Structure 1
Amino acid sequence: MGLREESEYYILHGYTGAVDAVGPEVIRYLLAHTDPGRTGPARDETVIRECVGHAGDREVESDTIQTLASRGYLTDKSAEAERAYVEGLAELLHKRELTRARPGFLIVPTYSCNLRCPYCYQAALRRLGKVMTRETADAAFRCIDLLRDRHHDSTREPADGTIPYMVVGLYGGEPLMRATARIVRYIVQEGRGRHLRFSATTNAVDLDQFLDLLGPDGIRQIQVTLDGPKDIHDTKRIGPKYPQGTYETILRNVGLALERDASVGIRLHINWDSVDRAKELMDDLDARGLLAHKHLAVYAETTHSWMRGHAAPVPPEMAQSDIHECLRQSCSGLARPLRATDHGLVARLERYVRYGLAGICSSASVCSSQTAMYILDLFGDIYPCWEIVGEPELKIGEFSAAAPVFNERERAWRGRTPATIPDCATCKYAVLHFGGCPAIPLRTGGELAAPACYDYEDAFISLSRRFFRSAAFRALGNSATAGAAAATVGASPH
């Protein structure tokens, strides 16, 4: 991968952990010696060719060529040998990750919802209009206990002898509405006695019905979504009882949650129709006194076209790279910065630059659905990922009062790596992207053993350029502990 940052050029090896600053003549040399039969993403090469041009006065010296070879940028491996190496490396990283993975749990008390958002990908699940019973909740707790033992969860045996808390998510449908109040109250009260605490992904419309459960010893974290400023939001987050919208109700309830010391994350949905008004919404949150609260976080995200079967973003949805750039331009000078999620891309890149492969060996997969995520629903079904809940043909097992029982899909899901995805084993992003989100190929007409490219390459090009410009990267270069931080190969960057 070649990345240009203003007058500097960096090359990043996809699996050796090498990161180097180079001159343009080195970039031209590497491009000239690229295997013409290689397949896979090449957009970054197109970008870098435009930057370095086709002519240069300097030749690449022999010692520089030797250094490039020693760092892995030049190789005499055949394509088949390199593919086999990447497959073996991916399997090794994943096995190591599996042995250390801590289990995570979500409970789905219902698939019903009190809203009818037009873009909702779970709309078909509302027909499953039931609520979890106490018996199923008890079986879910039993399942959690057994699976924590199965994973030898080290948090159950702390060195100082104290018993730590595990946070279990509440998901839906809508988990926090009047129809679920009784079972959610039971789940939280029972969970407290088991040293469990809870988070919830909620629309917050009925959140005032759960105030006694909110706070550090109950539902301690909630995620709420806004679809833009009031006039935009109130055309999307609507329901039978809320035909005029839900903006004011949600923000009032967010304030009540913060008063009870619950942590609140506001996910701001933006797209090309609303991104230029993100600052307006942030100003409103500031005027209400919400941004000043230490337990409130706000981040931006788009709805995803892949949930509707598209293999790439379709307007008005935005690509990650566009979101970050637009917010940088339109949201300067805010009381609190508004940032878009990057799904861990930059943090992963920073660990890779700092420590090489060691930086990602304990978290090779991009999602815990590939390691130890368990979502337990009201029907006794187990899913690995919240994007596919409620679809029995995709479940990985079932649970009862006796024990969880898993099917062959669990093995396939937990075993998904670049080694099991043919297109990924030859991709330059194999180790950093690790196959991507497993739900994407399932939603776009593929299968689990298919890549989840979507907009990753564009996001990597954009965000990595920003990273190499950042003070955080400069600090890595000056740090004695930065074992893999960028070295200089050949001529000084210019």
Structure 2
Amino acid sequence: MLRVSTYLIVTELGDARSALISHGVTGALDKVPLEVGQMLLKHRGQPAPTSLFDTQTLSVLRSRGYVTNQSASGEREMLQLIAQRMRTRGLANKVPSIAFVPTYQCNLRCFYCFQPHKAHAGHGKFAAVLTDEQIADAFSVIDKFAYPGALAREVDMLTGAATPRTVSANPHYDHIGLFGGEPLSRATVAAVRTISVEAAKRGVSLWAISNGTELEAHSDLIGLGPGQIHEIQITLDGTAETHNGRRQGPRLLSTFDGIIDNIRGCLELGVQISVRMNTDAEILPEVERLGRFFAEQKWSDLPHFSFSCAVVTSPGKQPNPGWPELVQHTTAARSAGIAVHSYEHFARDFLIHCLTPGSDGLVHRKTANCAAEEGQLMFDCLGEVHGCWEDVGFSDKRIGTYDSQGLHLDAPRVAEWFGRHPGALDACSDCPYALIHTSGCAAQAREAAGTILQNDCAGFQAYFPPSLAHAYQQFEDQMMNASPKETVDA
């Protein structure tokens, strides 16, 4: 019996005549009459309405996998097998991502921050700042584990002999992160300088996630080249009045102008600046205002500047607005000429991968939602190691510790992170978007369901189709307006 594939995705295009149909596993992508797409979507996962299609159309639909003689369980096994193979390959090829947390102290008290304010105030153990000895211990671990598959082998997630390499002789990564708290404050100058020296020895550069208020304290380390901070993500929550009302500290009630001056100085040095705006329902209009401000500064056209938005919420509350509302807003802003993006990158990447599959024929490149699921080591000032950004500062969520004796991993916890992928989660195995959204954020899933072995959809099924329609329309417009040579080059 023929049935419409469980993994069919249908996207209505803006001309009211056409639709994109795509296959969430194989990456097949076709433009069809709207009524064909609607009919297929109506019967997704059900017996195919074969009598409604002519022989040629039905043949094409079968050849592209939208209509299949596989059972639902057979298709599910296919997805699970592909997901598992991709995860194994990802673990085998992954060099651990590396970051340092020089301190948990921060000069701001943003109401939505997931870390406890006592950490930012430096109370108790959180008064610590990374020492030279801790940095040396951490780099000894980095040198041991900085080769493909190192962490997965350490927790017996891969078989076969490993070939350890020395980073100083043959580095397998090109940057080290700085996170906090606030990693680029006056209090962390000595620690960051030591990290810079060690990174330079290994020929790698640094990047940071910073609030941007005290960058001048690290001015001699910001630039291009080994050991230098070459990329910084900085948060601005709208234009001056709105931002200053949201991102304040005990002695900092107005931070916007100083941050802008620091961004300007970094851009003049050629440093990559990624501005992130944390949004909720109250400040959605600020997306366009801030984007226009960047355009007035002549930053929007710079290749080393970008502006993105993310949904945030106070701890224990649901995101407001949700991802669909934010994507809709940023899409509209881009249509009005604002250089901004948010979660629509899933659709853009999927479209690009469908049109340019890998050498192995697979459209999807990974099954990990983030580095925590394939290997990340974040060394903090308390001697703890974390794998997830949102777990930093919470000792009960650490994946291990480090000291002069090396790395001491909580192997079962690391294995749980590595075992999380779309094929391993029942809620994802029957979802058309499983290999596109890769199960969503594990930390958010844990907050909602008590375990990382659950999905976090975050409204993905609502905003992905219109995002894909917008991305495809842009692609089609570019192809239609390009010269024959440009079309070939594209």
Other-structure match for 1:371:
374
Of the three residues 292, 296, 313, the one matched with 2:319 is: 313
Q: Are 1:222 and 2:232 counterparts?
A: yes
Provide structure 2 residue ranges, at least 5 long, that are not aligned to the other structure. Answer: 1-8, 151-161
Q: Secondary structure of 2:59's partner?
A: helix
Residue identity in the other structure for 2:138: A
Name the SS of the counterpart of 1:467 in structure 2: helix
CA distance in 2 between counterparts of 1:199 and 1:110 reads 16
Query: Which of residues 402, 412, 423 is equivalent to 1:419?
Result: 423
Aligned match of 1:43: none
Call closer, same or farther: CA 1:345–1:373 in 2, change over 3 Å. farther
Are 2:457 and 1:448 equivalent residues in the alignment? no
| Pairing 1:18-167 to 2, within 5 Å after superposition | 18-31=28-41, 33-35=43-45, 59-124=52-117, 125-126=119-120, 127=123, 128-149=126-147, 151=149, 166-167=174-175
Q: Which residue is 1:389 aligned to?
A: 392
Quote the offset at 1:97 in angstroms. 1.8
| Structure 1 unaligned spans of 5+ | 38-53, 483-494
Partner SS state of residue 222, structure 1 = strand
> Secondary structure of 2:281's partner?
coil
- After superposition, the Cα gap between the structure-2 partners of 1:327 and 1:63, relative to the gap in structure 1 and judged at 3 Å, is closer
* Residues 32 and 248 of structure 1: CA distance in aligned 2, closer, same or farther (over 3 Å): closer
Q: Would you identify which runs of 4 or more consecutive aligned residues in structure 1 move more than 6 Å?
A: 161-165
Deviations 1:51-78 (A, max 9, x none): xxx9xxx941134323323332223333
Counterpart for residue 178 of structure 1: 186
Q: 1:263 to 1:174 in 2, by over 3 A?
A: same
Cα distance change, pair 162–466 in 1 and its aligned pair in 2 (3 A): same
In the TM superposition, what is the alpha-carbon distance from 1:203 to its structure 2 partner? 0.8
Q: How does 1:283-302 map to 2 (within 5 A)?
A: 283-288=292-297, 290-291=299-300, 294-295=303-304, 297-302=305-310
Match in the other structure for 1:211: 219
Instruction: Quote how far apart the aligned CAs of 1:364 are.
Output: 3.1
TM-score calculated relative to the size of structure 1: 0.82
Higher relative contact order (CA 8 A, sep 6+): 1
Partner of 2:326: 323
- Give aligned-pair identity as a percent: 27
Aligned residues: CA RMSD? 3.3
- Matching of residues 344-359 of structure 1 within 5 Å: 344-355=346-357, 358-359=361-362
Work out the CA distance in 2 between the residues paired with 1:472 and 1:144.
45
- The one-letter code matched in structure 2 to 1:375 is M
Which amino acid counterpart does residue 342 of structure 1 have in structure 2? E
Q: Does 1:198 align with 2:206?
A: yes
- Whole-Å separation in 1 of the counterparts to 2:439 and 2:362: 18
Deviations 1:158-205 (A, max 9, x none): 9xx987872100000111112212211221122212222111111111
CA distance in 2, matches of 1:284, 1:24: 40
Give the match's secondary structure for 2:249.
coil
Closer, same or farther: CA 13–266 of 1 in aligned 2, 3 Å = same
Summarize the Cα distance change of 1:177–1:29 in structure 2 as closer, same or farther, 3 Å threshold: closer
Q: Is this contact kept in 2: 1:349–1:432, CA < 8 A? A: no
| Most deviating of 61-70 and 217-226 | 61-70
SS at match of 1:302: strand
Q: How has the CA–CA distance of structure 1 residues 345 and 108 changed in structure 2, closer, same or farther, with 3 Å as cutoff?
A: farther
Q: Deviations over 1:385-429 (max 9, x none)?
A: 212112222222222233222221111101211222111111111
1:439 corresponds to which of 420, 432, 443: 443
2:186 partner amino acid: R
- Specify the SS of the correspondent of 2:449: coil
SS of 1:118's partner is coil
Q: For the residues of structure 1 that align with 2:187 and 2:59, how far apart are their CA atoms?
A: 69
Q: Find the residue that maps to 2:457 and give its secondary structure.
A: coil
SS at match of 2:354: helix
1:143 Cα offset (Å): 1.3
